[in-house]
Structures are given as structure tokens and as C-alpha cells.
Amino acid sequence: MKIFLGFLLLPIMALSQVLLINTSNRNSTTLNGNWNYIVDPYETGYYNFHSEVYDQKNVNSPAAFYNNYHAKNKSELVEYDFDKSPFLSIPGDWNSQKENLLYYEGTLWLKKSFDYNLSNSSNRLFLYFGAVNYKAEVYLNGTKLGVHEGGFTPFNFEITSVVKAKDNYLVVKVDNKRFKEAVPTINTDWWNYGGITRDVLLIEEPAVFIQDYTIQLKKGTNSTIAGFIKLSNAVKDEKITISIPELKIEKEIQTSAEGNIQFEFSVSSKSGKIKYWSPTSPKLYEVFIKTSHQTLKDDIGFRTIETKGVDILLNGKSIYLRGISIHEEYDGSRANGESDALVLLTWAKELGCNFIRLAHYPHNEYMLRMADKMGLMVWEEIPVYWSIDFNNNTTYNNAKNQLTEVITRDKNRASVIIWSMANETPLSEARNSFLKNLINHTKMLDSTRLISAALLTRGEKGVGIIDDKIGEHLDIVAFNQYMGWYGGDLATAPNAKWETPFNKPVVVSEFGGDALQGLHGTKDERWTEEYQEYLYQQNLLMIEKIPNIRGISPWILTDFRSPKRVLPGIQDGYNRKGLISNKGIKKKAFFTLHAFYKKMALQYN
């Protein structure tokens, strides 16, 4: 077995804090449940009630919310009390839990008390958040642990030196106000669900722990497993064993002086051929990483993904992406649990999908592990959506950090085949260099997966032209088009002409139209199920003739909340392009797409 000196996947250089991956297999204690909350639109939570001038922002105020202060005597003035405040159920957005918070965008403080005893005094303790939308400030026992920006990626803080055995008070200030420089920016077509929207965990690790790793098939091979392992401390010559019992693999390696190691080893024929992961056979192997301090298990699938000319090859075979776009929402609230993931991905499977586009931001990890298990290839995306501030370096670093966090978290998931840089971003030189830099950063972190983006197209003399310059830097040229909804003529759609200068696979990453489930009429009556059904029929006939077409992910699996969609009696705050209503009822177009996917599955098998 050679010590692998090249770079399949660089150890994700130390972020502001070490991001723990594979948290579901680590030694964790959940902090999910009821948290007290205080709505604080004026950011009173920082102020010192004793100060004369109330607009003084005294960040070390003894009575600030993060100190969870209680009056020492009956005469003392303190104007808040977390323990007498109402509860929010965490993980969960506040908008869908409290009617008076449905449209709330602002600051809200949450508090959770807990006791904790380390099982070994030399162990280390981390506080992990699956996601907080949009900005989080985290305090433990009055100590500011740090901040995080970005509403859809995980982060954690080490709390070993701050945690107490009894009566810890964890206070999180969440701010979901939208602003120009943010990622996403002010304008989106989805609900700005605020809060601690994903799991909160205490994770106890040994003094020296497995901090990060990648174990995947080496790019360009189908029988060499390669990757890296990074320990938390730079311990030289630490023995690490990688074992995959079902493949009879047990490899011992030693760490370098920096406490990490790149490796590669072939899976010899005696261990039997690798059963490659695919939608029809989503094989996952138990992989164990053992050190003298801990054993960490993961469930990893092995597969190859590449493009060759206009084909997308999974395990060397040309495929067609039978997809559907999905927002992280179920019945009008953030879908953040394993049961939500099972419902949404079961619907995708019923539709005949082998592919899902997780729009427009990284979804919770349950979705990725469920896709691994159920056999759905995944397009993951960061919320570089519409007209973000492409000229702003802080905005770029935010987007880059969100991309780093999602690649760090999901780089061992076989289901993830595409990293998407953006959605419908307006053309400009600033936007091109912004996206090119993100593309280069992605390739540096993970050279094994494909890179795409949902682009816009233009029309010329009645022909659809797919020639966005950024396409030169993408593996798959994907684009959104709304023939028959935002324009165009459905009757003649099947004869529409499309052209592209790229000799690359093309994917239609969005098309669709609204229908209110249960509203019926003729195919010419907008908002009826019959209109949506006809729109799908005509678009599918048109799409089959698009040059280099190798997949679609129509917009969208289920109706979802959007403040932009206000037509009374029809939208009522929901985008109705779902093939399934927000109450889980399938519309007629669901069956149109299902029939098409049945045909494509036969054609590509």
C-alpha cells in the first residue's frame, strides 16, 4: 500500500474553528427540545439597564440577555427573565411555530440550560449547530464563544474550558434580517425562516480525536480507495487503522508530523469487487477509522462520476438525470428531521427520480444520508442566488465559507455528484470572476465531483441560446427556463429551437408552472391542475430536442412558502409550482412526469 502523496482532497485547512463531520456517529448529547426565547427587535438584549442613556450599547452589561441575569433583590430593576419566557421547540424555525412570528425578521434570543459531566477529565467538549438562519452569536455561561454567518451550514465551538458540571446556560442570539451584502441577498423566492433550524449537539471527543477525513474512490480509478485523515493534534507516528470489513480491508498507516496523512490503497480482487454505489444499488460500506484514542464509524458508498463529451458517466455508464428540485420545507415549515427527509425523498422515488436538486442552499445532513441510503444522486447548492453583491469581497468570503462548510460536511457522501455555484445570477464581469473563484476553490477542496450552476439563457430570432460564458468553467451546463409560465407559447413549445456552443452535458435545472391542488378547468386556464399538466406535457416534448440534454430537475416537488406569492385564494403566501401540494396531495402533472421518467429509465438502462 503506497502512502498517497498526491492530493485527492486537501485536508480542509483549519477554519476559524474545527468543523466536526459525521456527527451522527460521534459521542453526542442532544440539546434539542424546548428553549426559552425573547423577541428583541430593538436589540435591547445587549443594553445595561443600569445605564443612564438607553442607547448605550454596553456589551459587557451584567444584565445583558447572554448573562441570563436574575434580580438579586426585590428592588433591583431587571426587565427580562428567560425562565419565565415562552418556549420554542428546537430544532425549528420561529415563523411556523408562532403565528405572531410568521413574518418576523429580526433579532431573537434563545436560552437552554443543561448540566454536563465529561466522562474523562482529559476529554474535549464541542457545541455543534446543524444550522442557524441567518446570523448566530453564541454565549455559554456569559462567555461569548463566537459568531457564525450563513443560514444553512453547520458550525461548532470548543467549550471544554467554559462548561460546568451543573446549571450551564447557553444563550444564542439569532438575527435573520436580510441585507444586501448577505448570501442570499435581500430578494429570494422562499420564506426567510429564522432560528436554530437544525440539531444542536454536545459532542465529547478524546484529547486527540479524528478531526476530519475523506475516504472515497480516487479520481480516475474504480479500484483505488484514497483520501486523508486529520487528527486534532499534531501527534507524529500515531498509528491509524482504516478498515472496511466487508471488503476484507484493514490498512494501518502512520500520521505525519502534522498529525495527518494522505493514503491510497487498491482493493485487490481477493477482497472481492467493490459493489459500486448507484441509484439502483445504493451500496454503503461500514468504514472504521481507529486510533489509540477512538474508533469512528461511517457508512460510505464508492462510485465514480465524470463527464465525457456530452455524457454524464456514473460508474462508467452514461446516465440521464431524472430529477426534481426540492426546497427544505414540509407542510409550511423547515424540514429538518430524518422523518421529513424520508417523506420528501420517498415522494421523489415514487416520481421515478434517480436525482434531486437540493435548492437553493445546503439542506440538513439527514437529506444527504437518506439520499445515500435510498439511491438518489444529489445536486448541492450554496445560496448565491439572483443579484447578490458580486463586487463585495466580504460577500465572496461568506459564499466561499458556506461552500467550504458544505463540502467539508458532505465530501464522503456518494449521493453528492454535483456542487452548484449559483442560481440565476445576472451576467457581469464581477459575477463571472466571483463564480470562477468559487469554482477554483471547489476544485481545490474536492476534485472528484462535477461542478455546475443554474444559468439563465437568452433568445435570438426565436431560438433559445444557452451560451452563458461561465459555462466554459462548468462540467455540466444547467439552465432554468419557464416556457409556458413566464412567457412563450405552450401550443408550439415542442417545436421550439435551442442551441448551445458547449460540447458538454446540458441539464434543465428548472421548468414548471403553478397549480392550486384541486382547482380544475381547461388546459388553457392558468392555476388549474390541467394547465400545469399540459405545461409539463409540452415542456417534456420540447426538452427532448434540446442538444446534449442529459437530465432535468423540474421546479418543484412540493408547494412552498414565499412572501412574494400573494394571489388570494390561489397562492396565499405559497409558490404553487409543486407537483404535490403543501398538504401532501399529488397533482395531475406528477403523473405526467412519472410516465416520462418510466420511459427514460427504460431508454437509459
Q: Tell me whether residue 184 or residue 471 sits nearer to ligand GCU (CB atom).
A: 184
3-state secondary structure (DSSP) of residue 348: helix
Among residue numbers 173 through 192, which ones bind ligand GCU (CB under 6 A)? 189
Q: Tell me whether residue 260 or residue 480 sits nearer to ligand GCU (CB atom).
A: 480
Among residue numbers 454 through 493, which ones bind ligand GCU (CB under 6 A)? 480
CA 343 to chain centre: 17
**CB 304 → ligand GCU: shortest distance, Å?**
30
**CB 512 → ligand GCU: shortest distance, Å?**
7
Q: Tell me whether residue 256 or residue 571 sits nearer to ligand GCU (CB atom).
A: 571
Q: Which residue in 114, 584, 169 sits closest to 343, CA to CA?
A: 584
Among residue numbers 333 through 362, which ones bind ligand GCU (CB under 6 A)? 360
Long-range contacts of 82-87 (CB under 8 A, 24+ apart): 82/36, 82/38, 82/109, 82/111, 82/169, 82/171, 83/36, 85/36, 85/37, 85/38, 85/111, 86/36, 86/37, 87/34, 87/35, 87/36, 87/37
Q: Where are the alpha helices (DSSP H) in 128-261?
A: none
Cα diameter, the chain? 80
**CB 532 → ligand GCU: shortest distance, Å?**
12
**Which set of grid coordinates corresponds to residue 229?**
485523515
- Distance between CA atoms of residues 490 and 520, nearest Å: 18
Select the residue whose beta carbon is closest to ligand GCU and give its number: 189
Decide if residue 510 touches ligand GCU (CB under 6 A): yes
Q: Which residue type occupies 94?
A: W
* Residue that is written with C-alpha cell 444522486 in the block: 377
**CB 382 → ligand GCU: shortest distance, Å?**
14
Q: Which residue in 36, 19, 40, 34 sits closest to 129, CA to CA?
A: 19
**Parallel/antiparallel/unpaired status of strands 224-231 and 210-217:** antiparallel
Count the site residues for ligand GCU by CB under 6 A.
9
Q: Tell me whether residue 255 or residue 480 sits nearer to ligand GCU (CB atom).
A: 480
**CB 188 → ligand GCU: shortest distance, Å?**
7
Q: Tell me whether residue 471 or residue 578 sits nearer to ligand GCU (CB atom).
A: 578
- Number of other CB atoms surrounding residue 374 within 10 Å: 18
Q: Tell me whether residue 128 or residue 574 sits nearer to ligand GCU (CB atom).
A: 574
* Residue that is written with C-alpha cell 493514503 in the block: 263
User: Which of 298, 424, 529, 530 is the binder for ligand GCU (CB under 6 A)?
Assistant: 424
**CB 359 → ligand GCU: shortest distance, Å?**
7
Rounded to a whole number of angstroms, the distance between the first and last alpha carbons of the chain is 36
Q: Tell me whether residue 212 or residue 514 sits nearer to ligand GCU (CB atom).
A: 514
Tell me the per-residue interface mask from 524 to 563 with ligand GCU, x by CB under 6 A, - otherwise.
Answer: -------------------------------x--------
**CB 509 → ligand GCU: shortest distance, Å?**
8
User: Which of 262, 575, 581, 592 is the binder for ligand GCU (CB under 6 A)?
Assistant: 575
The footprint of ligand GCU (CB under 6 A) covers 189, 360, 423-424, 480, 510, 555, 575, 577
